C-alpha cells in the first residue's frame, strides 16, 4: 500500500477543487542515500559533529561507570575476605 498525501487546492471561492496526489518519498532527498559533504549546510555539519561528540562522551561515561563498579566490587571482596578471616 502506498502512502499518499492528498493536497486540495481551492481556486478562489468556487467550490471546484483540484486534488493532487503526492506519493510518499518523492519530495526532497531520500534519508538513506549518502550526501556529498559539500552539499551539507553548516548547521547539518555542526549537528553531525555534536552527535558524534555526544556519542564519545556517552561511551566514556559508560566505561567509567563499569570501571568504578568493578573497582568497588573488588574492594568489597577484599574487605569481606579480610573480615571473614581468609588471611589466617
Q: At a CB cut-off of 8 Å and minimum separation 6, what does 9 contact?
A: 17, 18, 20
With 90 as the cut, is the pLDDT of residue 45 above it? yes
Task: List the beta bridge partners of residue 19.
Answer: 8
Q: Model confidence over 66-82: pLDDT tens digits?
A: 999 999 999 999 988 88
Mean pLDDT of the chain: 75
- What pTM, to 2 d.p., does this model score? 0.45
pLDDT band at 8 (very low <50, low <70, confident <90, very high): very low
Q: What percent of the chain has pLDDT over 90?
A: 40
What pLDDT does 27 receive? 57
In the chain, beta strands by DSSP E? 4-10, 17-23
Amino acid at each position: 500500500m502506498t502512502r499518499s498525501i492528498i493536497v486540495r487546492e481551492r481556486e478562489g471561492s468556487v467550490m471546484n477543487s483540484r486534488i493532487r496526489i503526492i506519493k510518499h518519498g518523492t519530495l526532497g532527498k531520500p534519508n538513506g542515500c549518502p550526501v556529498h559533504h559539500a552539499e551539507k549546510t553548516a548547521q547539518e555539519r555542526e549537528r553531525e559533529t555534536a552527535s558524534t561528540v555526544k556519542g564519545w562522551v556517552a561511551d566514556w561515561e559508560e566505561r567509567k561507570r563499569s570501571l568504578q563498579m568493578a573497582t568497588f566490587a573488588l574492594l568489597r571482596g577484599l574487605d569481606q575476605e579480610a573480615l571473614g578471616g581468609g588471611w589466617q
